[in-house]
Chain A
Amino acid sequence: MIEHYVDSASTFSGDIDNVILVILASVGFWFILAEVVFFWLILKFRAKPGVKAQYISGEKPHEKKWVTIPHYATLVFDVAIIIMAIKVWHDVKINLPEPDSTVRVIAQQWAWTFVHPGPDNKLDTPDDIQMVDELHVQENKTYHFELTSRDVLHSFSVPVFRLKQDAIPGRIIKGWFKATQTGQYDIQCTEICGIGHGIMPARIIIENEAQHRVWNTTNAPKLAEVAPTTPPTSAGGMP
């Protein structure tokens, strides 16, 4: 259902949409049933002259079953929903698959800094690509992210991935995603972080392998810049 409104662009976004759909179907059924019974009772038992209400204590077993049967039905549906939800939760938040690449996400009032590993696919090397408010990833590649904050709480949210994780100063929180389609989408900060909370948008740019290789090579800091003895050879560099 969600995918009609918001693209589904990660390996687990479909699973989360399914959980939402299952919950919608089961609670929707009970919600409609309860409302129908409720309005039917109101219509059927409107006060009529000369008709006295019935005297029902609700304590006898044959009366109480009208509450206990829905009670157990609720329990059964709850258990089913819990099992589905926890399974997806494990896939998204607990069992991180081996990464093909790792990016660092640093939040601050009020901007995102994304550190990409660069052509050598390793962080903390001279060819790391650091960008503000723009995250470049390659489709069909498993990424780990290392999320932290420089000041207050923020939250790293990528709606098309169905991914959300708070950033906490002083801690590095790991998570993962694997994009399934190319495109450009919003990254949101979803934890209030001060007066600039509303102006903290960023974009995620999901590229195919060729595009990503080009982006990597054009944006990686040239070794030339790192070692200034060699003269720069071509234009381009950090944005």
Chain B
Amino acid sequence: MSTAAHAEQDHAHGHAHHDEGFIKKYLWSTDHKMIAMQYLFTGMAMALIGGFTVYAFRMQLAFPGMSVPGYGRVTATDYNALVTTHGSVMIFWVAMPVLIAALGNYLIPLMIGCDDMVFPRLNRLSYQLFLISSIVLIASFYVPGGAFGGAWTSYPPLSAKAEYSLTGLGSSMWLLAVALEFAAFLLGGINFVTTVMNSRAPGMKMFDVPIVVWMIIIASILFMASVGPLIAGAVMLLFDQQIGTGFFDPAKGGDPVLWQHLFWFFGHPEVYVVLLPAMGIVAEIITVFSRKKLFAYKTVLYTAIGTGVLSFFVWAHHQFIAGIDPRMANVFSVTTLLISIPVAEMVFVYIGTLYGGSIRLTTPMLWALSFIAEFLLGGVTGIFLGASGSDIYFHDTYFVIAHFHYTFFPIAFIGSFAAITYWFPKMFGKMMNETWGKVHFWGTIISFNFIFIPLFFLGARGDHRRIYDYRHFPDLMKAGMQDMRILATLALLVLLAFQVVFLVNFFYSLFKGAKAPANPWEANTLEWQAPSPPPHGNFPQGLPNVYRGPYEYSHPDRQADWWPQTEPEPTKS
């Protein structure tokens, strides 16, 4: 069983057997759909942790010193651990597994028309590493000293020495968890890229590949190209923590700012690593529900690639005032503002796609449209921070928090909800309830804006980040400021409450929902040609042939307003 050929045979053999035992089916399954579901459910479970931590620390901000129901009193140590965990979990254990790993695994083979990933066992290993990384992160809460509290950016020397952070073991476990998680996604990324290069259905040219697949591929390449320096940095930081080396310790000839370069060299492309798949999801959904061809397919593709390339040259905008040579800010200010052009262009293209459409406001469409509406605000507020002069004031204030939540919330949650509501019929063979889907949508979107609009104003009034009790700052307790903090927290409680609606709808539909047809949305892409849910091997009637691009909706020569990629050209008479 050591050669690839054997592995392939073994895998093919697996397709014939469907009555596998529990261990084979769940723990060692190499089916891309099973792995995708495991990533999805793990991501959803981690989102509960991310949500609980934000609940606890926002309650402390609104009502300092109170005993938070379900948590207890939030001490300064707790507060730091909670914000650190919230940030790390939401980015690394929610956005990444759901948007890249779950959707990439689920969609790529189905949308390019093949039976599985090229490296199914690497895929299995990837999830197992990810699961271990999640367990290590959760376990760090229960070690002496508690979980790491040095922020998700983990800047040394605070993160490097136990005497500063007071969480010797917690810091190392956080770092280990992050490194394991990166290893998991490296394996996944290799798999995605290789699969799309090699396993496309006959007839599927590069420009026939759906945008969401392209986006996941570009994101995977960005991730793989940027994560190396950070893994190296993580090893150096682990050495600093555990064996007393001085890579980041100025007393031993190191430099703490070096970590910031390594971190953000990865950290900024990472923003686009999660943004691009969400953009791809939106492209799929708005074309289907406006019955329109995607406006300028190639432009979308080239802007995505342009964004990806540029994203490697903007990292130091996180460090304008960090003590780097101030002249560097000029360069990074220019590159940062330039990256607004391809990203804005993508948004323009999506808005243009709506023109002349036949728009149906289903739940997935509402999510996709709200992504555009909300992300726009996240995008434009980034200009204040990318421009070096104004960043001096806004850096490390709540304005930054509001800005990146207007980008990350649409990415991680709006994008995921759009994807889940859109592909749910395919994934589980059941329809989700539309009414409850819309209740969940409006409850979430309205409360989301009530959380973060106040934070823009608080940031503009000088509220700085990661402070657990503003009563120590007389200038930050002026009239109305605490009221805005309370408003944001109350809106958060509403938002969290509405997620119960989603979970109930999700699980109720999963077990009791109406049976879904193979193609409930009358969409063109290949996954809708497979049964719902697709069996092991995906296409029981044989792998599909592709005749055209994915967005041939409302073609003038046709009666139907959709034209599946698999339908042969009509024979000319």
Q: Which positions in A face B, CB cutoff 8 Å?
A: 1-2, 5-6, 15-16, 19-20, 23-24, 27-28, 30-31, 34-35, 37-39, 41-42, 45-48, 51-59, 63-64, 66-67, 70-71, 74-75, 78, 81-82, 84-89, 92-94, 109, 151-153, 155, 157, 159-160, 162-171, 173, 185-186, 188-199, 201
Chain B residue numbers with a CB within 8 Å of A82 are 333-334, 337, 387
Chain A residue numbers with a CB within 8 Å of B291 are 47, 52-53
User: What are the 3 closest A-B residue pairs judged by CB atoms, nearest first?
Assistant: A170-B250, A54-B356, A88-B389
**A6-B461, A87-B389, A191-B155 as given contacts; A166 in contact with B352, CB under 8 Å:** no
Task: Please measure, in the bound complex, the distance between the C-alpha atom of A170 and the C-alpha atom of B337, giving whole angstroms.
Answer: 33
Task: Please measure, in the bound complex, the distance between the C-alpha atom of A210 and the C-alpha atom of B319, giving whole angstroms.
Answer: 39
Task: Please measure, in the bound complex, the distance between the C-alpha atom of A45 and the C-alpha atom of B292, giving whole angstroms.
Answer: 11
Contact yes or no, A166 B322, CB < 8 A: yes
Which of A53, A163, A189 is the one whose CB lies under 8 Å from B356? A53
Residue of A nearest to B461 (CB): A5
**A42-B354, A78-B337 as given contacts; A164 in contact with B327, CB under 8 Å:** no
**A52-B554, A52-B561, A66-B348 as given contacts; A93 in contact with B358, CB under 8 Å:** no
**A35-B376, A155-B396 as given contacts; A201 in contact with B472, CB under 8 Å:** yes
Asked if B555 lies at the interface with its beta carbon under 8 angstroms from chain A, I say: yes
Asked if B268 lies at the interface with its beta carbon under 8 angstroms from chain A, I say: no
Contact yes or no, A157 B464, CB < 8 A: yes
Contact yes or no, A31 B377, CB < 8 A: yes
Contact yes or no, B340 A169, CB < 8 A: no
Asked if B462 lies at the interface with its beta carbon under 8 angstroms from chain A, I say: yes
Residue of B nearest to A157 (CB): B464
- State the total of A-B contacts with C-beta under 8 angstroms: 290
Chain A residue numbers with a CB within 8 Å of B165 are 194
Task: Please measure, in the bound complex, the distance between the C-alpha atom of A164 and the C-alpha atom of B260, giving whole angstroms.
Answer: 17
Chain A residue numbers with a CB within 8 Å of B535 are none
Contact yes or no, B561 A84, CB < 8 A: no
Stretch of B38-46, B74-82, B409-417, B486-494 contacting A (4+ beta carbons < 8 Å): B74-82
Task: Please measure, in the bound complex, the distance between the C-alpha atom of A1 and the C-alpha atom of B296, giving whole angstroms.
Answer: 39
Q: 1/0 per position for B469-484, CB-CB distance to A under 8 A?
A: 1001111100000000
Chain A residue numbers with a CB within 8 Å of B392 are 16, 89, 92-93, 162-164
Interface centre among A37, A48, A53, by most B CB within 10 Å? A53
Contact yes or no, B251 A170, CB < 8 A: yes
Contact yes or no, B464 A152, CB < 8 A: no
Known: A5-B462, A159-B475, A186-B474. 5 other contacts (CB 8 A): A52-B554, A58-B352, A93-B329, A151-B157, A194-B158
Task: Please measure, in the bound complex, the distance between the C-alpha atom of A120 and the C-alpha atom of B519, giving whole angstroms.
Answer: 84
Residue of A nearest to B350 (CB): A38
**A35-B373, A82-B387, A86-B389 as given contacts; A166 in contact with B344, CB under 8 Å:** no
Task: Please measure, in the bound complex, the distance between the C-alpha atom of A173 and the C-alpha atom of B361, giving whole angstroms.
Answer: 55
Contact yes or no, A53 B561, CB < 8 A: yes
Task: Please measure, in the bound complex, the distance between the C-alpha atom of A45 and the C-alpha atom of B352, giving whole angstroms.
Answer: 12
Contact yes or no, B356 A38, CB < 8 A: no
Which of A45, A56, A78, A192 is the one whose CB lies under 8 Å from B80? A192
Which size class do B's interface residues fall under?
35 or more
Nearest chain B CB to A42 CB, angstrom units: 6
Contact yes or no, A38 B467, CB < 8 A: no
Chain B residue numbers with a CB within 8 Å of A78 are 337-338, 340-341
Chain B residue numbers with a CB within 8 Å of A75 are 341
12 A-B contact pairs sorted by A residue (CB < 8 Å):
A6-B461, A6-B462, A34-B376, A41-B355, A56-B295, A58-B294, A89-B326, A92-B389, A173-B323, A192-B80, A192-B151, A198-B472
Asked if B556 lies at the interface with its beta carbon under 8 angstroms from chain A, I say: yes
Chain B residue numbers with a CB within 8 Å of A84 are 387, 389
Task: Please measure, in the bound complex, the distance between the C-alpha atom of A165 and the C-alpha atom of B473, giving whole angstroms.
Answer: 19
Complex interface residues of chain B between 419 and 466 (CB less than 8 A to chain A): 457, 460-462, 464-466
Task: Please measure, in the bound complex, the distance between the C-alpha atom of A52 and the C-alpha atom of B554, giving whole angstroms.
Answer: 6
Task: Please measure, in the bound complex, the distance between the C-alpha atom of A183 and the C-alpha atom of B338, giving whole angstroms.
Answer: 40
Asked if B395 lies at the interface with its beta carbon under 8 angstroms from chain A, I say: yes
Asked if B37 lies at the interface with its beta carbon under 8 angstroms from chain A, I say: no
Contact yes or no, A198 B462, CB < 8 A: no
Asked if B359 lies at the interface with its beta carbon under 8 angstroms from chain A, I say: yes
Nearest chain B CB to A188 CB, angstrom units: 5
Task: Please measure, in the bound complex, the distance between the C-alpha atom of A159 and the C-alpha atom of B461, giving whole angstroms.
Answer: 9
Asked if B229 lies at the interface with its beta carbon under 8 angstroms from chain A, I say: no
Task: Please measure, in the bound complex, the distance between the C-alpha atom of A53 and the C-alpha atom of B330, giving whole angstroms.
Answer: 47
Nearest chain A CB to B241 CB, angstrom units: 14
Contact yes or no, B359 A164, CB < 8 A: no
Chain A residue numbers with a CB within 8 Å of B301 are none
Which of A152, A155, A159, A170 is the one whose CB lies under 8 Å from B462? A159
